[in-house]
Amino acid sequence: MSKRPLGCLFEVIETLVLTAVIYLVINTFIASPYRVQQQSMEHTLEPDQYILVDKLSPRFDRYKTGDIVVFQPPQQYQQPEGVPYIKRVIGVGGDKVEIRDDGFVYVNNVKLNETSYVFKDSDGSPQPTVSTSQSLWVVPSGELFVLGDHRMSSADSRVFGPIKLDSVIGRAWLRYWPFSTFGILPTPPHPELSPAAP
């Protein structure tokens, strides 16, 4: 009679251990939850929204302009409790990124069309992008140039330069909370950056 409760206990423990292992595998290699805690991606992502960060697809699908990534910033910009940053990829290895006096971003001398995601001012016009002490960067191989969508409220590559790929946790994939905002976070196309057809 005592064997049955003991057997049930082992089954419960086995189930809990298996659940924990599955969670750890998914969280480490496939996807993990992330709470937006900064204003730098408004209005694409608002503070206290929750997203899933895709860690799997970047292993075989390179990051590209328009992707939203979660990453650990350089040490001097790290936040309390190691809260990661979330920004949008503007340039990848080999790209020349320039912020010009007209308030627009240029990648390889082509003006980037960012109207679908850059924060809009009260008059509905896209917020201009302002450079700091530097306005031109050539992104090294193995690094990414990132900017927040809310350019006036973002510490990003304009301040700390391109980030290393090994600091990137993954690609923002799905917004799941609040449930009213549930949906895939698409990567906007940038046909203006495609090589001209011969």
State the catalytic residues.
Answer: 40, 87
Pairing of the two strands 168-177 and 183-184: antiparallel
Question: Residues near 180 by Cβ (< 8 Å), separated by ≥ 6?
Answer: none
User: With contact defined as beta carbons under 8 Å apart, do 119 and 151 qualify?
Assistant: yes
The Cβ of residue 20 has, within 10 Å, a number of other Cβ atoms equal to 10
Q: Where are the beta strands (DSSP E) in the chain?
A: 31-35, 50-54, 68-71, 85-92, 96-99, 105-107, 110-111, 136-138, 143-147, 163-164, 168-177, 183-184
φ, ψ for residue 7, nearest 5 deg: -65, -40
| Max Cα–Cα distance, the chain, nearest Å | 82
Q: Which residue type does 172 have?
A: A
